[in-house]
């Protein structure tokens, strides 16, 4: 049976951290966090019917990218085969491929369990080849390609460097469609979010805020681990559930960051 990660409630911890009893207030949405990539979640949007959050639904197909996507074709300039982002033979920047696999840009296996360190080196390498300021002597056509490719690499880096956006991107590659209007029916989670917001709002001591943030990050990590387990088992329903909860806890962490 699937077990909710980190199911123990945090409300007692937050109340103790804030040094008071938690008062019940109307549940308001956490502030919008700008999406770091086009594949990331849309902003939290409350409605009169409940609290809506970015969600994925299994069963509505979208175009899945092939593992060969972005494998490189013939260079438009010299005709060399296997040109990818930029040509290895003549160095010409190639036209953007909208089907490119972000993992391939960084020479990585398509999986969830990666680190930001595994992205940084390749990111800098691509930017040295593609950044518009570094190709100013090339033709207008190629400068346009470079601007598009540079933006693509930036988006790929932002998407893969954050656990939630990386999880959502992996689901996209599996053909799982986004349902941004799906309502989460989890009163315990919604109550917990309210209490987190109250504790953060009423606390001014930095050490207390850091303690609250640490508790939230543990919950986020638990759901991240749950996604990894579910995705590896190709249990996409539970993988989707994990991303929904990760979104809430990620926003809660942002609340603490704003006050520290």
**Within-domain flag for 195:** yes
Is residue 6 one of the residues assigned to a domain?
A: no
In a domain, 213, yes or no: yes
pLDDT value at position 158? Answer: 95
Domain assignment present for residue 94? The answer is: no
Q: Is the pTM value of this prediction over 0.75?
A: no
Phi, psi (5° rounding) for residue 149?
-70, -40
Domain of residue 251: give its range. 11-63+174-259
Block residue for tokens 């939290």: 44
State residue 117's pLDDT score.
86
Q: 183: alpha, beta or left, given left = phi > 0 and alpha = psi -120 to 50?
A: beta
Q: What's the domain count of the chain?
A: 1
Q: How far apart are CA 222 and CA 227, in angstroms?
A: 9
Q: Is residue 220 included in any domain, yes or no?
A: yes
Question: Would residue 19 count as lying in a domain?
Answer: yes
Q: So what's the pLDDT on residue 165?
A: 92
Query: Would you state the pLDDT for residue 72?
Result: 66
CATH of the domain at 202: 1.20.1280.20
Residue 176 phi, psi dihedral angles, 5° rounding: -90, 125
What pLDDT does 1 receive?
A: 39
Give domain status of residue 35, yes or no.
Answer: yes
pLDDT at 179 (0 to 100): 67
DSSP 132: G
Asked, for residue 101, whether it belongs to a domain, the answer is no
97 CB-near residues (< 8 Å, 6+ apart): 69, 70
For residue 228, report the phi and psi dihedrals to the nearest 5 degrees: -55, -45
Give pLDDT tens digits along the chain (260 positions).
344 444 444 554 555 555 544 444 443 333 333 334 333 333 333 333 333 333 333 433 333 333 334 456 899 989 998 888 888 888 888 998 878 899 999 999 999 999 888 899 999 999 888 887 778 888 899 989 999 999 999 999 999 999 999 999 999 999 997 565 576 889 999 999 999 999 999 998 999 999 999 999 999 999 999 999 999 999 999 999 999 999 999 999 999 999 88
């Amino acid at each position: 049976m699937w077990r909710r990660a980190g199911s123990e409630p945090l409300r007692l911890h937050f109340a103790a951290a804030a040094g008071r009893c938690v008062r019940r207030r109307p549940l308001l949405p956490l502030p919008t966090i700008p999406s770091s990539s086009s594949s990331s979640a849309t902003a939290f949007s409350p409605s009169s019917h409940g609290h809506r959050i970015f969600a994925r639904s299994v069963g509505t197909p979208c175009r899945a990218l092939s593992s060969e996507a972005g494998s490189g074709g013939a260079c438009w300039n010299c005709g060399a085969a296997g040109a990818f982002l930029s040509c290895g033979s003549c160095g010409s920047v190639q036209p953007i491929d909208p089907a490119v696999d972000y993992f391939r840009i960084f020479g990585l296996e398509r999986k969830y369990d990666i680190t930001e360190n595994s992205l940084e080196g390749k990111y800098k390498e691509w930017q040295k080849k593609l950044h518009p300021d570094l190709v100013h002597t090339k033709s207008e056509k190629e400068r346009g390609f470079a601007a598009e490719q540079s933006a693509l690499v930036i988006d790929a880096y932002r998407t893969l460097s954050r656990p939630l956006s990386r999880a959502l991107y992996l689901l996209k590659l599996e053909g799982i469609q986004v349902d941004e209007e799906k309502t989460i029916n989890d009163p315990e989670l919604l109550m917990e979010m309210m209490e987190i917001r109250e504790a953060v709002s009423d606390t001014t001591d930095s050490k207390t805020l850091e303690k609250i943030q640490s508790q939230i990050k543990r919950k986020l990590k638990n759901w991240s681990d749950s996604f990894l387990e579910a995705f590896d088992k190709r249990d996409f329903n539970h993988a989707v559930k994990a991303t929904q909860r990760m979104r809430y806890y990620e926003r809660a962490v942002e609340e603490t960051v704003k006050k520290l």
